[in-house]
Chain A
Amino acid sequence: MPEQNAASLVDLLDRVVHRGAVVRGDVVIALAGVELIRLDLRLLLIGIGG
């Protein structure tokens, strides 16, 4: 029987921070902190499997 969970924070961050459309170019303001989080998240997602 599959379990259905409320969205866990990891699932949510995976989607909101790591996926979705990216906008680049002059129109956007680069947020240094956000770029760092994306890197961190990638590392964490590699880690959770083990």
Chain B
Amino acid sequence: MSRGLYAYAITRDRQLDLAGPWLIGHRGLALVVAEVDLGLFAGLEFEEAAEDSPLAVLARYHDSVVRAVFEHEPVLPLRFGTVLESIDAAVRLLGARHEEARAWLERVDGRREWGVRVRAAVRAPEDLGGLSGTAYLAQRRRRLTDADVARRGAETLHEALTGRAADATRRDATGLLLDAAYLVDAGAEHDFRADVERLTAELGLTAEITGPWPPYSFTTVEFADA
């Protein structure tokens, strides 16, 4: 069976007890790795990603390792399924991308990611059949106006939260008025969360917050070994 070094994250080279994974250090930086059987990654299927599916188990473990490091040191999480050939390859990568990786670690140091999602309101279907033409149109206009108010509210929320955050990233998602992630200074988290609560109430929105996360959404960098 073929084996490789699964790489979870890049961090600072420190003594960390991770109960399994270990650090390969080079010039002050380190790759968090564990030896894996490549067969584990064959035939994974996303469509069957139930809680106990192989993909879910592997992804949760990946996240738990990243978080264990993140409790102590800043991390650059690597994308799921990053497998290196050897310890030499790990050292080569850390050497070739040293400055870049260090700069990214500084950028996320002392910060955590929070996800905020605002759904478009789902209304109970009403029976419009009995309404007169005028009442029907009035009802329809009111709904369109409400939708517009909610859309603008979500924009206002995003602008305000972006102002609170060190960085923000947003994704277009059908059916969602806002699907965004914010990188927030540890010292500003309390205010950030209070803002989400206050603003969503003021704007009449319903928001879901997820987090804190390691900075997955803010380390979308590509490291080539050359």
Contact = CB atoms under 8 A, between A and B. Distances in A.
Interface of A: 1-5, 7-9, 11-13, 15-29, 31-34, 36-37, 40-41, 44-46, 48-50
19 contacts: A3-B207, A12-B59, A12-B63, A13-B46, A13-B59, A16-B77, A18-B79, A19-B79, A19-B217, A19-B220, A20-B80, A21-B10, A21-B76, A22-B223, A23-B78, A23-B93, A34-B44, A37-B44, A45-B173
Given A24-B225, A41-B46, 17 more contacts: A2-B207, A3-B207, A7-B210, A8-B210, A9-B49, A15-B217, A16-B77, A17-B80, A21-B78, A31-B83, A33-B81, A34-B80, A44-B47, A45-B173, A46-B174, A49-B174, A50-B174
A27 B225 contact: yes
Contacts of A34: 41, 44, 80-81
A19 B146 CA distance: 34
B89 interface: yes
A8 to B, nearest CB: 8
Contacts of A37: 44-46, 55, 80-81
Interface string B79-97: 1111111000110110000
Interface stretch (B13-21, B137-145, B148-156, B193-201): B193-201
Interface in B55-106: 55-56, 59-60, 62-63, 66, 76-85, 89-90, 92-93, 104
